[in-house]
Chain A
Amino acid sequence: MSEAISGTAVIVGAGHAAGELATQMRDNGWRGRILVIGEEPSLPYHRPPLSKAYLAGTVTAQTLLIKPQAVFDSADIEFIAGVRVIAIDRAGSRVHLADGRTAHYDRLILATGGRPRTLPIPRIQQATPDNFHYLRTLADVDRMREQFKPGKRLVIIGGGYVGLEVAAVAIERGLHVTILEALPRVLARVTAPELSAFYAERHQNAGVEICTDTQVEDVQLDPSGHAITAMVTVDGRHIEADLAVVGIGLIPNVELASDAGLAVDDGILVDEFGQTSDPNIYAAGDCTNHPNPYFGRRLRLESVPNALEQARCVAASVCGKPKAYASVPWFWSDQYHLKLKMVGLSQGYDQLVMRGTTESDCFAAFYLKDGYLLAVDTVNRAPEFMLAKRLISERIRVDPCRLADESIPVKDLLTHP
């Protein structure tokens, strides 16, 4: 390993994981060249505000940068921005870029992230209409923002976090907002029915129309063919729209890896150190499928904390200081005045314990299995969020009655479970 750290490290991707990898590898003693190759034109930037403050227009693109250019310059990190890596030549230890260049690597780290899952409608897959949007990049939001005007009719396809965050910003801006959700409730894949009902009601109170069990089958285009005029549902309804946004999930970018013969199964398969099936190639962030010791299974996560925390472990491991990635997943979503923070994964829970009431907009929903905490969703309840992080990571058994009893201070739940 000692000779490797004098060699060249190539990082593919320039999102949260890539930016953290690059600086952390330098901090961990990588002496050789560090080259980051990103498809987007920008340095790594904060993505979460894209569907919140940036969409609302209250922050500028400049403030979204995670670290300024000067940080990367002083760490002697090179960037190639706006160019896609199209192939990995493992035998030749190099990557091929879309502009014809190649770059040699001694260690390659894939931080390719993901792309929005697209609606399977042939009419819009051939050519994307000007007022039809996906939301993943700064460019996506810049394109959408021009049409984000008061009085416009916005149709959002997908009642997940992205869809609900966009709805909150849009309604506060004075747009007419309709959410079309294919499943029977919003946030169906991630929270309990109680939370789905709470969020649906808060959005409806704000003026958002929510249509569940509503699948989109087609779009109606104007005569030019460059703009949609309505979304068409499976049951034949036409829902008129001045613009539409789709938020129906993420597809991990695994094609570079799979084309190069690396093991891939719902993400690039890596071990706890981020190493792929090729010992010279690592991966980090949304694109990985990695083992998680707290949940005893492999996970593919779409979150900033996952990208950053995994990147830190991979950076150390690449530099010959193996550090296993073992974190309890967590997520956050800000809508209106509601600060939602989640820890853990709730699949398979056998008991839901509420602390506080949904009516107060300030509560925590604990998901338990066999007396242990699997996950918590907290709304405007930061103490319970921080508590749950520790209850899960330290595997502390909890008494459901005490969790529900608000006369017991949160701190005491940690010390006298």
Chain B
Amino acid sequence: MPTIIFVQPDGSEQHIDAALGLSVMQVAVNHQVPGILGDCGGSCSCATCHGYVEREWAQHMPAAEPYENDMLTCAADVTESSRLSCQIIVTPQLDGLVIRLPPTSR
């Protein structure tokens, strides 16, 4: 199983073995990762699963659909690395993926 590394704003890390095919949001929720809520259940409706994916990892996954980028337009603490983790599906290529969490997630 690929390992996904969630990094909190204070630098603390959680390394989680993730089942293929799940969304990164669901992986986080299943392991109670603070800062990722996934309130809408992954329908790209709430932006409570916001995380940062650096470029070296972004190239190993499909780019965000326009709708996802729209959701991020007015979200807090958005950068060019921002993604909604409910839209990232775990694949073998993502072993070691780092998801950094934004400072103001609630």
Query: Contact residues of A with B, CB < 8 Å?
Result: 23, 27, 46, 48-49, 66-68, 70-71, 75, 304-305, 308-309, 332, 334, 339, 341, 380-383, 385-387, 389-390, 410-411, 414
- The 8 A-B residue pairs whose C-beta atoms are closest, nearest first, are A382-B70, A386-B74, A383-B73, A46-B41, A382-B71, A332-B45, A387-B74, A383-B70
Which of B1-9, B32-40, B89-97 forms contacts with chain A?
B32-40
- Number of A-B residue pairs, CB cutoff 8 Å, is 61
Contact partner of A382 among B31, B37, B39, B73, CB < 8 A?
B73
Q: How close is B68's CB to chain A, nearest CB, in angstroms?
A: 8
A48 and B74 in contact, given A23-B32, A66-B29 (Cβ under 8 angstroms) = no
Task: Give the total of B residues in contact with A, Cβ under 8 Å.
Answer: 19
B72 cross-chain contacts in A, Cβ below 8 A = 386
B30 at the interface (CB under 8 A from A): yes
Q: How close is B17's CB to chain A, nearest CB, in angstroms?
A: 13
Assess the B30–A70 pair: CB atoms within 8 A.
yes
Distance, CA A274 to CA B40, complexed state (A): 22
A70 cross-chain contacts in B, Cβ below 8 A = 30
Assess the B45–A71 pair: CB atoms within 8 A.
no
Contact partner of B32 among A71, A382, A386, CB < 8 A?
A71
Assess the B37–A308 pair: CB atoms within 8 A.
yes
Contact partner of B40 among A67, A75, A304, A381, CB < 8 A?
A304
Distance, CA A382 to CA B75, complexed state (A): 10
Assess the A390–B74 pair: CB atoms within 8 A.
yes
Main secondary structure of the interface of A (DSSP, over half): helix
B58 at the interface (CB under 8 A from A): no
Distance, CA A332 to CA B42, complexed state (A): 13
Distance, CA A238 to CA B70, complexed state (A): 46
B46 at the interface (CB under 8 A from A): yes
Assess the B40–A27 pair: CB atoms within 8 A.
no
Contact partner of A410 among B31, B32, B74, CB < 8 A?
B74
Distance, CA A308 to CA B38, complexed state (A): 10
A308 cross-chain contacts in B, Cβ below 8 A = 37, 39
B18 at the interface (CB under 8 A from A): no
B29 cross-chain contacts in A, Cβ below 8 A = 66-67, 71
List 11 additional contacts besides A308-B39, A386-B47; criterion CB under 8 Å: A71-B29, A71-B31, A308-B37, A332-B40, A332-B43, A382-B67, A385-B71, A386-B71, A386-B75, A387-B74, A414-B74
Assess the A339–B74 pair: CB atoms within 8 A.
no
Tell me the nearest residue of chain B to A309, going by C-beta: B39
Tell me the nearest residue of chain B to A333, going by C-beta: B45
Distance, CA A2 to CA B74, complexed state (A): 41
Bits for B12-40, please: 1 = Cβ < 8 Å to A, else 0.
Answer: 00000000000000000111100001011
Distance, CA A48 to CA B74, complexed state (A): 24
Highest count of chain A CB atoms <10 Å: which of B39, B45, B71: B45
B70 cross-chain contacts in A, Cβ below 8 A = 381-383
Assess the B74–A66 pair: CB atoms within 8 A.
no
Assess the B73–A66 pair: CB atoms within 8 A.
no
A-B contact pairs, 28 of them (CB 8 A): A23-B32, A48-B40, A49-B41, A49-B43, A66-B41, A67-B30, A68-B30, A71-B32, A75-B32, A304-B39, A304-B40, A305-B39, A308-B37, A332-B46, A334-B43, A339-B45, A339-B67, A341-B45, A380-B67, A382-B73, A383-B70, A383-B71, A386-B71, A386-B74, A387-B73, A390-B74, A410-B74, A414-B74
A304 cross-chain contacts in B, Cβ below 8 A = 39-41
Distance, CA A385 to CA B39, complexed state (A): 16
